[in-house]
Amino acid sequence: MKIDQILDNIYPIPDSSKSMIKNLITEVTYPKGHILLRADKIVKSIYFIKKGIVRAYSSLENNEITFWFGKEGDTAISMKSYVSNEKGYEDIELLENCEFYELKTEKLRDLFEKDIHIANWGRKYAEQELIKTEERLISRQFRTASERYKELLNENPELIQRVQLGHIASYLGITQVSLSRVRAEIK
């Protein structure tokens, strides 16, 4: 996915403002299995996913809990580092070979001070991420495993083809055996 499309999907800004952001972006590539962001570290970059798929997870007592998947057009970020410049709580693992557009957070903050359009773009980005997080929380609290799986199929059908079932089960908050039952019911 092209960077212009990713930036516009967050919030359209004038070409001159978009050029200021694009001038600070570098393209990076990492292999499947690479840990892009580490828990308990302040992350200094934002990664826009050009190609590939990633998962965010937290580890608890030798158990990894997946709570987010990102694919082309999404942003891999530690919101805690981005907003508060504090250590994040998540690891982000690449589930495929991935290509990213990398933007240093400090340089973006500098642009927030210089350009109101970019500042508004950053605000809209944070607002959108807050809504997505709220929707995931509500889904996890109020929907059954079967309803959450159907929602995942409707919103991101390609995930089922590209992500291990163990990660999907973790994301849904169920075991892999329960996921097999849910899948059998739906077929």
pLDDT of residue 89: 92
In the chain, which residues have pLDDT < 70?
none
Looking at the structure, do residues 118 and 178 belong to the same domain, yes or no? no
pLDDT tens readout for residues 72-85:
999 999 999 999 99
Looking at the structure, do residues 164 and 119 belong to the same domain, yes or no? no
Looking at the structure, do residues 38 and 103 belong to the same domain, yes or no? yes
**Range(s) of the domain holding residue 26:** 3-142
Looking at the structure, do residues 155 and 137 belong to the same domain, yes or no? no
Burial grade of 66 (CB within 10 A; 0-12, 13-18, 19 or more): buried
pLDDT of residue 186: 85
Cα–Cα–Cα angle for 114, 29, 161, rounded to 5 degrees: 110
pLDDT of residue 140: 84
Looking at the structure, do residues 67 and 124 belong to the same domain, yes or no? yes
pLDDT of residue 118: 98
Q: In what order do the strands lie in the sheet with 35-37?
A: 35-37, 91-94, 54-60, 63-70
